Structure 1
Amino acid sequence: MVRPRPGLHDLGVRRTRRLPGRRRRRARAGPRVRNTGTRKGREVVQLYLAPTERGDRPHRWLAGFASVEAGPGQAVETDIAITPRSAEVWRDGWRHIAGEYVLEASHSYAEPRLSTRVVLQKIR
């Protein structure tokens, strides 16, 4: 039995404040997923970061994911944390690379469905 795939809509990016006792901030993104089928459906929403200035980094990489379920015609919000580690590279130790990125939402690496530009601030 094949379940209908929900579609991705409205990629929202939210910033969270620093929590007491925590050293790192997390951004949160949450595309709205709508099931356009007639049966209950499930989708794994994947978020990818793609640097606007590529350099020696990959074209894009997985930054976070979440599994959601939606009934027929139902729209549900996802809530995916994007940690600072998502923008780090190994250069004699992990280093955070601040700057502009494209955040892409999809159900697979090969098919990005939504995108938005985000700026990741430098972490001290």
Structure 2
Amino acid sequence: MSDHISMRVNAGRLTGLTGNTVRLPCKVLRLSDDSAIVEASDGGQVEIQRKNVDVTGTYIEVLGTVVDASSIKALATIPLDSDDELDMKLVNDVIELTFESRFDKIFPRYQTGSS
């Protein structure tokens, strides 16, 4: 089952997940040809390597592989835009809840060696 996990994370949760597939809900701050700088739900900035991956919208979810504690290689993006701003504090609260051990059966996560 762990082969198919793609946990939702914030910038602070990237540490220790190098090589794993994750989902990062975020706000696009800057775009360049092959990369983007985004703000994760916890306010941290993450570089998205986005070669051949379109970024459309202000708020997106990046599905990608963690390169290091501050960058992700995008596999795809999903637009999250609506008529209103996305409540990133609420998004972050949900992400943090998924890391609580009492929800392990609902939200499986990677084994990182620490809880």
Band of TM-score, shorter chain: under 0.3
Q: TM-score, normalised by structure 2?
A: 0.27
Bigger Rg, structure 1 or 2? 1
Larger relative helix fraction = 2
Q: TM-score, normalised by structure 1?
A: 0.26
Larger relative strand fraction = 1
